[in-house]
Amino acid sequence: MFDAVLIRKSDSGQEAGVSKVETAQLPQGDVLVDVAWSTLNYKDALAITGASPVVRSFPMVPGIDFAGVVAENSHSDFKPGDRVVLNGWGVGERHWGGLAVRARVRGDWLVPLPEGVSLRNAMAIGTAGYTAMLCVMALERNGVLPDSGEVVVTGAAGGVGSIATMLLASRGNSVAAVTGRMTEADYLTGLGATSIIDRAEFTQVGRPLAKERWAGAIDVAGGVVLANVLASMRYRGVVAACGLAGGMELPTTVAPFILRAVTLVGIDSVLCPKPQRLAAWQRLAQELDMAKLDGMTTEVHLSDIVSMAPKFLDGQVRGRILVPINLQVG
C-alpha cells in the first residue's frame, strides 16, 4: 500500500484526497517507476478542483509529470535503476499520474534524465520548463535570434513564464515580462527580464494592429492577451502560444498575419514526438541555470496538494510547486 492523491466522482460530485492504493491497482504499462518528485501544474489544479473537465475517467491519480527511478521494466530502452522523467501523454487525465509514490506507464512515454540534472531539478523544470524550451526552440526555428529584438513573455511569474524568461535571457534576448502581479517585478528582474509590463495593458480588446514592439513572443494566456500581443508584433514576428489561462477565444483579425507576416506557432507538450522531447531536455540540462531554480520553487507536501490547487487557479502561486514524494529514491 502507498499514498496517492485520488480523484473520485459520485452522484454528489467530485472529491479529491490522499488515499492508500496498491501496486496491483495501477493501470497497465511496461515500466513501473518509484516516484521521487512530482509537481502541481495548472492542469493538475483544474483536475483536482473539477474547475474544468480535465479528467477523462475515474478514479484518477492526477500529476501530469514526475521524476523517479525505474523499479520494474519490460521495455527495451530502460532497466531497473534508470532515472527517468515523464511529461504529458495524458497522464493525470486518462492514465494515473505522478502524484503518487508509484506509477506504471508505457516506456515510450519516458525520457532518460540527462546527466547533471537531479531528480528534484527535473521537477523544478517539469512540464512548465520543458514547454518553455519547446517555445524557445520554435522561436529559433522561425528566425528569432538574440539580436532580432525584444521578446515578450506573458504570465511571466508563472512556471512556464519564469523559465521562459530565464532561457531567453541566458541566450541574450531582451525580455519584456508581462504579469498581473507587479509586486513580482524584482523576482522577474532577477530571472533576467529587462522590462516589466502590467497585464492590465493587455486585458481589453484593442485595435487589429497596434504599434510594432516585439520580434518574438511566448504566450501562456490566450484570449484577449494573445490578440493584443499579435497586434503589436513587428514585421515577420513570431508568437509561440502554449496556454489558455486567459481563455479559449481569440478575438483577433487576419491583419497581423497578412499585413505584417506574423507567424503564430502552436506548442503542444502532451503529444510532442520523442526526438523533440529528448532535444528539449538535453538543452535544458545545458542551458538552464540550475542554481536559479531554487529561487522560483516552493515545496508542498502531498497531503497539502488538494488545498493548494484553488490558490493555483486564483493566480496566487509564483514559479514552480514541487511535491516531494519519496526522497529515498535515487
Mean pLDDT of 89-100: 96
Q: What is the pLDDT of residues 21-57, one digit of tens each?
A: 999 999 999 999 999 999 998 899 999 998 888 898 9
Q: Does residue 5 contact residue 48 with C-beta atoms inside 8 Å?
A: yes
pLDDT digits (tens, 9 = 90+) for 160-214: 999 999 999 999 999 999 998 898 999 999 999 999 999 999 999 889 999 999 9
Higher per-residue confidence, 10 vs 107? 107
Question: pLDDT averaged over the chain?
Answer: 94
Give how far Cα 93 sits from Cα of 2, 118, 141, Å: 20, 26, 31
* 106-122 per-position pLDDT tens digit: 999 999 999 989 999 99
Over the stretch 265-321, which tens digit does the pLDDT of each residue have? Answer: 999 999 999 999 999 999 999 999 888 888 888 999 999 999 999 988 887 777 789
Query: What is the third-level CATH fold of 127-266?
Result: Rossmann fold (3.40.50)
CATH class as words, domain 2-113+300-324:
alpha beta
Kindly report, as residue ranges, where domains of CATH 3.40.50.720 are found in the chain.
127-266
The yes-or-no verdict on residue 99 having pLDDT over 90 is: yes
HEC-encoded secondary structure of 62-127: CCCEEEEEEEEECCCCCCCCCEEEEECCCECCCECCCCECEEEECHHHEEECCCCCCHHHHHHHHH
Exposed/middle/buried for residue 158 (C-beta within 10 Å: 0-12, 13-18, 19+): buried
Give per-residue pLDDT as tens, 58-76: 999 999 999 999 999 889 9
The pLDDT score that the predictor gives to residue 127 is 93
pTM for the full predicted model: 0.90
The beta strands (E) that lie in the chain are given as 2-10, 13-21, 31-40, 65-73, 83-87, 102-105, 110-112, 151-153, 175-179, 195-198, 214-219, 233-241, 263-266, 297-299, 320-324
Q: Is the pLDDT of residue 330 over 70?
A: no
Residue span(s) of the chain under CATH 3.90.180.10 come to: 2-113+300-324
pLDDT value at 102 more than 80? yes
pLDDT at 317: 76
H/E run at residue 132 = helix 119-141
228 CA to centre of own chain:
23
Whether residue 143 has pLDDT greater than 70:
yes
Quick one: cell of 14?
Answer: 467530485
User: If you average pLDDT over residues 219-234, what whole number do you get?
Assistant: 97
